[in-house]
Amino acid sequence: MPESRAFPDSDDLLGEALLALARSGTPSAREVLLGLAVPSDEVRWWRDAPDGPAGAASWAVEEQLRGAARQMLLAGALATRARAGYYGARHRRAALATLDGVLVGPAAGGRRLTAFAPVAGARPLAVRLHQALYAVREAIDYQRAAGAMDAFDGAVEAGASRELTEALIALVRGTQGARIAVEWAPAAGVPEDCAPGGEPVEFSPGDLPVLREAGARYLREEPSVPVRITGTVVRMRRSGPRGEGRVRLRVLAGAEIPHVRLTLDEEDYRIAGQAHLVGLPVRVRGRLESRGGFRRVTGACGVVPVQVDEEERDRLLKSLQENVDFFEEACGGE
């Protein structure tokens, strides 16, 4: 490789090097090409997994590595949206959209995997994951030294969550240990408040009980939140022609979730049904329950129709016409 473009025939030499990388079958060659194609921070995973026949990894071992890595990237993406010990269904759509631009290399023998997070769109993900992993490692060490779980509460601010502890459990389970490292794109430099990349954070099977306890703690202590949700009715059910009924809304505003379930009294149920018939969304107050993953509103009340522009109203009416048999059944009882 020429040291600079001033070297004689540097363009030809660079072209030959790229061609050799493209023709190479080694995983490292592909990683170099990916890194050159899109300036990216690299997230690397290693698992000390048992050898299979002739040193090959089973399909299940490779899938475990890929699944755990995806869970971990999703946990990092969730932490860029908000800080929480448990997200459930919240922010998931936006977090998954962040992962669309992340490229993943081959899972070499089910033991090593690299993801390339483009600096332009996914650096916050890499930064948050880097900081969260160190925070979880420190919290585990503190629990072992002091016997207390308090450090996991502070780790939430760094990006730790039940989703991250679950990803770490999936990564470490069935191995002798695992490591994760974040290497910063040279062209972009080291982000502010981050250590130079490359040094892996290590986790072992001995960490699993603490990780499980931390995940249960995050799930147990995440509070329900008051909400005022605007959404369109997509399902209505009740056991008879009168009384309360169950409703499912597609959320338009008020909560970072795609759908929500709620139980309405007879009057609010009637208002929701009428709004749906004329192609209008509704607004409702209540508490978004952490139990069940923030998919249910309790204490729902104050249902009112919400005006929308004609184009959106026409679309909602078309959706009703396509499901008119279901809606008539729902309004008439089961």
Same domain, 209 and 263: no
Q: Where does a domain end: 187, 221, 255?
A: 221
Same domain, 238 and 216: no
> Is 264's pLDDT higher than 70?
yes
Q: What is the pLDDT of residue 328?
A: 44
> pLDDT confidence of 31, banded at 50, 70, 90?
low
Same domain, 156 and 294: no
Q: What is the pLDDT of residue 33?
A: 57
Q: What is the pLDDT of residue 186?
A: 87
> pLDDT confidence of 29, banded at 50, 70, 90?
low
Which residue in this structure is represented by tokens 């990803």? 167
Same domain, 207 and 291: no
> Is 327's pLDDT higher than 50?
no
CATH number of the domain at 250, please.
2.40.50.140
Coil, helix or strand for 153?
Answer: helix
Instruction: Count up the domains in the chain and report the number.
Output: 2
Q: Pick the residue with more confidence: 49 or 76?
A: 76
Instruction: Give residue 192's domain range.
Output: 27-221
Give φ, ψ of 265 to 5 degrees: -70, 175
Count the neighbouring beta carbons within 10 Å of the beta carbon of residue 286: 21
Query: How is 83-99 classified by DSSP, letter by letter?
Result: --S--TTTTHHHHHHHH
Q: What is the pLDDT of residue 332?
A: 44
Let me know if residue 6 belongs to a domain: no
Same domain, 108 and 47: yes
> Is 324's pLDDT higher than 60?
no
Let me know if residue 296 belongs to a domain: yes
> Is 1's pLDDT higher than 60?
no
Same domain, 236 and 217: no
Q: Where does a domain end: 186, 221, 256?
A: 221
- In what helix (H) or strand (E) does residue 100 lie, and over which residues does it extend? none
- The set of residues, in sequence order, having a beta carbon less than 8 Å from that of 137 and lying 6+ positions away, is 201, 202, 203
Let me know if residue 1 belongs to a domain: no
Same domain, 327 and 274: yes
In this prediction the pTM is: 0.81
Task: Report d(CA 267, CA 36) in Å as an integer.
Answer: 61
